[in-house]
Structure formats: structure tokens, C-alpha cells
Amino acid sequence: MRTAIVTGASRGIGRACAITLAAQRFAVVVNYAGSADEAAQVVREIESAGGKALAVQADVASATAVARLFDGAEAAFDGIDVVVSSAGVMTNGPIAEVADDEFDRVIGINLRGTFNVFRETARRVRDDGRLIGLSSTTLALNAPGYGLYNATKGAVEGIVRVAAKELGGRGITVNAVAPGPVETGLFLDGKSEADVQRMAGMAPQKRLGRPDDIAGVVAFLASPQAAWVNGQVVRANGGIA
Ligand SMILES: NC(=O)c1ccc[n+]([C@@H]2O[C@H](COP(=O)([O-])OP(=O)(O)OC[C@H]3O[C@@H](n4cnc5c(N)ncnc54)[C@H](OP(=O)(O)O)[C@@H]3O)[C@@H](O)[C@H]2O)c1
């Protein structure tokens, strides 16, 4: 059985990726940082549909914790074939007002966390494996307030392209998905209803993305059919940019 690790799989896009990959017969490691109950619920949902899953707590900002996450996956299943690096946090505010501790927190999770996961994947993923990072359509929009967040997502796209060349010789592909606004806590928390509606209205379909809209793209990139897609950033945003 092939194995997938999905970071940040207790909620949102990661959760949808975990459930979608499990439906495609991957044994799935459901990573989370603090939401143990939600992660256990994702595991139950996968198991009740006949799949295999394991919840593993690990803060992606810690290299040691990420190594432990991969150890757990290898111990429970027999190797690692797909890694989805979805764990991330959003921050919003003018560059002039970003505090140092907020900078460290967001860089720690979105950038160092991504790097930790990519490094461990490069060391351990089996031949013909798949690594999928999460960027954002905010990089195309360049809206005020997204300076720090976009800096971390620009880094995701940067490392994807290099990792694709470093690992491609073993049949491994490395790509990113760049969603537009998706109805998860990350997007909705702290926004007024008017702001949510305004951003939903940016898409031709006049709606927000749903986690399954993104999980479908991730699942395609994880599939054998996507073997010739490598080093790419796929925008999944309904057509807003
Ligand atoms: N939603 C959007 O509109 C949107 C658009 C573009 C890109 N994205 C990107 O898509 C990814 C997923 O976003 P989402 O909307 O699904 O967010 P979400 O609903 O807020 O879920 C975030 C997930 O990341 C986990 N997480 C947070 N910090 C972590 C850490 N230090 N270590 C391990 N896991 C951690 C959370 O686990 P706990 O609950 O256990 O903390 C949770 O499972 C992010 O990289 C985000 O930047 C989202």
C-alpha cells in the first residue's frame, strides 16, 4: 500500500487532501500541531470508509518534530510515497506594522516548516514519489497587507522548482498548488462578512473555493498520471488570477 503524509491535516485543505488520498487507497499520516481531537476525527472518518490512517502530532517548525513525523510514518507503514506540505498560517497587515514575533511565528511555520518537510522528504521519499507544497494565489494579487504571507509563499514556489530538479532523477515530482480564497478557518477567521463576500465575488463563479476543489488538484499531482508535471505551480482559484 502506498503511503502519504499530509501536514496540517486536522482541518481545512490538508484534511480534504488526507480524505481524498485515503479514498485513492493511500495509507495516510494525518499530521497536526494542536488539534488532536480534529485529527482523530479525520482518522476515524478514513477508517470508517475502509481506509488506513494514523494521526501524528508534530510542529512543522521543528526539524526534530518533522523527523519524528517521518519516523512515525515509516514505522506504521512501510515507506513514504507522497508528501503534501499543507500546514500553514495566515497573517495580514501592512509591512510597516509587522512585529518581530509575528514575523518569527509566520516564517517559522510557513517557511522553516516547509523547508523542514521538503528536506525530510528529499531524504526519505521512495522513488517515483510525489511532493506537493501549498503556495497561494495571493502571490498573483499582490494586495496590500499580504507582505509577510507572500514572502513565505514566494519561498514555497522557489524551493519547489529547485527540489523538482534535485529529485526528478528518481522519478519524483515536486509541484505546488496555489489556491485562491478557500472557505477554511485560515481564510475566514477575522474577516467581516462583507470582506468574505467581496472576495467570493472575485471568482467568475461568485463563490469561495472549497477544500475539495484543492484536494482534487493535489490528488491529481500525486497520481501516476501527473508523472510529467514537475516543478510547476498550479493555480486553483476558479479563474481570479
Ligand atoms: N484557505 C485559503 O484561502 C488558502 C489560500 C491559499 C493557500 N492556502 C494555504 O493552504 C494551506 C492550508 O490552509 P488551510 O486554509 O487549510 O488552513 P486551516 O484550515 O487554518 O488549517 C491549517 C492546518 O495547518 C495545521 N498547522 C498550523 N500550524 C502548524 C504547525 N506549526 N505544525 C503542523 N501543523 C500546523 C493546523 O493544525 P492544528 O489545528 O493542529 O494547529 C491545521 O490542520 C496553508 O499552507 C495555506 O497558506 C490557503
Beta carbons of 72 and 29 less than 8 angstroms apart: yes
Q: Which atom of ligand 1 is closest in space to residue 32's alpha carbon? A: 40
| Rounded distance between C-alpha atoms, residue 178 and residue 139, angstroms | 9
Query: Which residue bears the cell 501592512?
Result: 94
Written as one letter, the residue type at 163 is A
- Structure confidence at residue 78 (pLDDT): 87
Pocket test of ligand 1: the residue of 7, 11, 160 to mutate, having most ligand atoms within 8 Å of its CB, is: 11
169 Cα: distance to centroid of ligand 1 (angstroms)? 30
DSSP codes, 95-143: GGG--HHHHHHHIIIIIIHHHHHHHHHHHHPPTT-EEEEE--THHHH--
- Structure confidence at residue 153 (pLDDT): 98
- Rama region for 231: left / alpha / beta (φ>0; ψ in -120 to 50; rest): left
Residue 146: active-site member? no
| Rounded distance between C-alpha atoms, residue 31 and residue 8, angstroms | 5
Residue ranges of domains in the chain: 3-181+213-236
CATH number of 3-181+213-236: 3.40.50.720
Helix (H, G, I), strand (E, B) or coil at 239: coil
Full pLDDT tens readout for the chain, 241 residues: 999 999 999 999 999 999 999 999 999 999 999 999 999 999 999 999 999 999 999 999 999 999 999 999 999 998 999 999 999 999 999 999 999 999 999 999 999 999 999 999 999 999 999 999 999 999 999 999 999 999 999 999 999 999 999 999 999 999 999 999 999 999 999 999 999 999 999 999 999 999 999 999 999 999 999 999 999 999 999 999 9
- Structure confidence at residue 53 (pLDDT): 98
- Structure confidence at residue 104 (pLDDT): 98
- Structure confidence at residue 21 (pLDDT): 98
- Structure confidence at residue 229 (pLDDT): 98
Cell of 194: 462583507
